[in-house]
Structure formats: structure tokens, C-alpha cells
Structure 1
């Protein structure tokens, strides 16, 4: 039977690609540490902005939104990779896989949207310093952010909607986590086709793409933003004084 006409009912996927990973416990442990640091940094960033009314300004609301995006983006894939490498869980159900794919691509799209609107905020502040506060209020900032989330959800929902009606020819995913390419590969793409990057290089690129920005962003905005940096130093001084 031709490959394109073969179809099976898939209830779960087998996550492949990690069999050749050297020292999976070390790799999984490193991913776990970076993931925890990224989540911790972004949560601290959000709590600082929410707890201080002086930071309730458009720029800090956008930083808070970026932190939420980073949490979503890194959480869409990292737990699966950690589970495969540390716990040996190499299967994922069909529906959670689609949900993970949606969250992963939503995080990627929103990362670009969030950075773009932050750049627009700084451009407006530099170009129109006197009218800035009247042009970009907190209400307008929140409204713009909500619109971006809605647009991103509508855009990304096309991917799982495209995948659902496709016939599945394989139950094994060849990628690190459930992304759009992995689902398509599990449908009717011959796995014997050659690729440019090796499996290890592709894994490293994916992991760096997911974890890198989510880890760096909170530290960059905390250390380069005067108000947040001042608040952190004050908290540390209070802790040292109490000890």
C-alpha cells in the first residue's frame, strides 16, 4: 500500500531522537536547572511589577507581558524534554501533544509581538516625549496587549486545525518535542529523507531557542531597568540588615 494511502489511528506518540544522546541525565539536569532559573526569574519580575504601584506604567506592563510569554514559551517544551531525559517518559498522548504544539508556537509568535510592541513603546517615548503619556496610557497598553494575544491565538490555531484532518502514518515523533514539524512528520513524510542538520545539532538549536530568551530576558530587564534594580537592591539590603 502506498505510504500516502496508509493511515492509522493515533492515540499517543513515541518521542524519538534522544536515544543517541550522550549522558542524558546530565543534559536533562542542565535543562532542568535552566528551566527553574527562567521560571523563577520571570515570576520575580512579575511580582516586583505587580507589588509596586510606581511600576504600573506602560513600559513595565509590557515587561510583565514579556515575562508571561517567556513562562508560556519555555513551559511548552521543557517539561517534556526533562521527562524524557530524566524520567524516561517517552510517550505523549495525542491531545496533550497538540496542546503543547499550540502553546509552543503561541509562545514563539507572542515573543516577537511582545518585543515589537516594546520597541514601539521606546520609539514613541523618544520621538514624542511630551505626548507619550497621553498617547500610551495603561488602559491602551493593556488593550493593545490583549489584541496581540487574540491575534496570535487566531494565527497559531491554524496549525492544529491543519493537522487534525491529516492521516497519520507513524506514531513516532522525530523531534525533541511536539511541534508542527513533528506532527507533520508523523503523518505522511518519509523518515528516510535526508536533513541538513544532524539530530544533535537540531536538538541543541531547539533547546537554545526555547530556553535562551526565557532565561536572559528577566535578568536583562531587571538589571537594566533603574526602578526594578533599585527595588531589588533595597530588598537585599533589608534581608542583610535583618540577619
Structure 2
């Protein structure tokens, strides 16, 4: 079985469409989104590192989220952009393995990180007196290390089992190497792969989503309970923004990875996957930083110092 799969030396990424006029428009749109994503997330890391006042758990996690978004956007976007302009739409077998492995590490780790960030906000709002003692530097490092290790281990399983399959076709009806479209190409029995995908994603994404929901339930309940005149409405507005991103992110992941491969429609899946590979990394800097007055103040100070 492994010998058959290694006989494949490259795959063909079909992308979105073959219409030239549409390809140019899509290239411009996605290129601008990618540039904005890089700039927004680099700014988060730069401001957080520059200002000692932001050396807090919330901004530590936010900087790691920005790092995740930069790396996994870069894993996907350059090759995707080349599909819009280049006639050669092939990707080597090694590059496909690497792309899938890195993407799986980061998307899995980010799901856990979002749950950690929700827990951090829950402690800060609902248990402010215990917050500093619980969210120590050591505990924060343990949490983020756990997210990385979890992503690495799960990705190793997914990548190993996926590329042990034999592939009868090499044309991937998608814009990057991902598990569901690759399973579609296999002439092997993929039932074990589907079970692993469903189990791991159900546990990781499902568990992370449940943590986020529980934390934000208590956050909203606490805000209503203490009836904050100004801060409460602002915090509630922020919670709504976070919840919108949460719904888009986890909803698209559930739609892609928690369905049987037999009922997957690659055309529909492509649209859903754009949400968490392109839209969410762009939205995260807006939702988590530009709506934060402390961060905006630090960003303005950094800009003023840069031009002095």
C-alpha cells in the first residue's frame, strides 16, 4: 500500500476556476487579504513585544494566535495565489505532505489556543481576584506548549495515515493539500482514516468549542449580573464580535472535517475552507486587537516613536 502511494511524485491542484477574467480578480482579492493578514498579525506581535505593559497572559496568547495565523496563512496562500496566474498547477509529493502536516499542526493548535484564550477571559472577568495567581507565567507557558504538542501529535497521525494510502488519481479538486480531498483520490479503504479524522477532530475542535461556549456563557452571565453601565456594554459588544468569529471558525471546521468523505462536495468545501484559511486570519487582528483600547494606545505610541 505504501509502495503504491510513493509511486505518486506530484499532485495537481485544480484551484477555484479556469476562467481567466475571474482568476485575475481572485488573485487581487486574495493577495490583498494575505498582505493585510501579514501586516495585521505582525503588528500584534511587534506591539506586544515592544510594550512591557502588554506583557500579560491575554496579549501573550494573542501574540501566539497572530503567529499561528501568519504561519498557516503562509503555508496556504503563496501556492494558492500561484494557481491564479501559473499554468503549472502541480505540487510535488513532498511539498503536499509538508503543506498538509504544517497546516494540520497549526489549525489544531489554534483551536486549542482559542479555548485557552476564552478560559483566560473567563478568569479575568469572573474571578479577577484569583486571576494573577492562576494565570502565572509558568502556567501560561504550559498551556501554550500543550497546544503546540497537541497539534504536532494529531497532525503526525493524520499525515502518516493519509499518505500510507494508495492514490489512483492525482488531480486534487481543491486549492491546497488537505485530508478530505486527498481521501477522495485514494483507491484504498479509507474507513480507518475517516474514523481517525472524526475522532480527533471531534475531540479537539468539539472539546475546544465546548470550552469556549461554557466560558462565554459565564462571561455574559457575569456581565449581566454586575450590570456594568459602560464597561459592560463594551465588553458585551466585544463578546459578540468574538462569538461571530468563533461561529465562523468552528462552524466551517465542523462542516469540513466532521462529515463522511462520501458526502463531501469539493465545490462547497472550497468555499467553507476559505473561511478558516483566508478570512479568519484576516479578521483576528481586527476583532482581538483593533477593538482593544489598550492595544490601540500602544500601537499609536509605537508609531509615534518610529517616526521620531
With the shorter chain as reference, the TM-score category is: 0.7 to 0.9
Query: Quick one: distance in 2 between partners of 1:154 and 1:188?
Result: 26
Q: Which of the two has greater helix per residue? A: 2
Cα distance change, pair 202–236 in 1 and its aligned pair in 2 (3 A): same
CA–CA distance in 2 between the matches of 1:228 and 1:77?
Answer: 28
User: Cα deviation per residue 1:60-110 (whole Å; 9 max; x = unaligned)?
Assistant: 101011111111222221111101112333010101101111122222212
Q: Which range moved further: 41-50 or 134-143?
A: 134-143
* CA-to-aligned-CA distance 1:121-157 (integer Å, 9 cap, x gap): 0111123211211111122212210111101110121
The normalised TM-score by structure 2 is: 0.69
Q: CA deviation at 1:58?
A: 0.7
The structure-2 alpha-carbon separation of the partners of 1:181 and 1:132, relative to structure 1 and needing over 3 Å to count, comes to: same
User: Aligned pair 1:222/2:289, yes or no?
Assistant: yes
Q: Distance in 1 between matches of 2:34 and 2:47?
A: 20
Show structure 1 runs of 4+ deviating over 6 A.
Answer: none
Distance 1:15 1:36, change over 3 A: same
Gaps of 5+ in 1: none
> Tell me, which stretches of 5 or more residues in structure 2 are unaligned?
189-260
Contact 1:29 1:86 in 2 (8 A): no
Number of residue pairs matched? 233
Task: Choose between structure 1 and 2 for higher RCO, CA contacts under 8 A separated by at least 6 residues.
Answer: 1
Partner of residue 156, structure 1 = 155
Q: Are the equivalent residues in 1 in contact too, given 2:15–2:83 (CA < 8 A)?
A: no
* CA distance in 2: counterparts of 1:186 and 1:196, whole angstroms: 12
1:127 partnered with 2:126: yes
The answer on 1:202 being equivalent to 2:201 is no
Q: Provide TM-score, normalisation by structure 1.
A: 0.86
Which residue of structure 2 lines up, in the alignment, with residue 96 of structure 1?
95
Q: Conserved in 1, the CA contact under 8 Å of 2:173 and 2:266?
A: no
CA gap of 1:88–1:36, structure 2 versus 1, over 3 A, is: farther
d(CA) in 2 for partners of 1:125 and 1:194?
44
How large is the RMSD of aligned CA atoms in angstroms? 2.5
Q: Provide the residue aligned with 1:25 in structure 2.
A: 24
